[in-house]
Amino acid sequence: MSKKKKLSLIIIVAAILYFVLSYHIIIIEGDIRQPRLLKKSTFTLEYTIFSTEGRSNKSILAIDVLRESGIGDLLIEEGLMTKEEEAVILETLRIEQQ
């Protein structure tokens, strides 16, 4: 393999790795045709691909990594939750963690 091909391959693999470490791919209600991208708050492989299907808003918001990345705002934007519901769920989670 030539040096140019090796370098190109390394660059492509690095770009894919950077994307996987940087974004959550959120599948809303099983709609795999239109996944939503959510910027991760830190580089991690945790919850890189996540589906909301069959999960309650509380169980989704209970996942620290997703909550810190702003999944609540995404759920509100998609019409799956209101700001008031988010506030109640977050307060409930705070009480349960104490």
Q: Where are the domains of the chain?
A: 3-97
Q: If you search the block for the tokens 């995404």, which residue do you land on?
A: 74
pTM: 0.84
Smallest CA-to-CA distance from 51 within 28, 75, 72 is with: 28
**pLDDT at position 98:** 74
| pLDDT tens string 23-64 | 999 999 878 899 999 999 999 999 999 999 999 999 999 999
* CB-CB contact of 71 with 61 (8 Å): yes
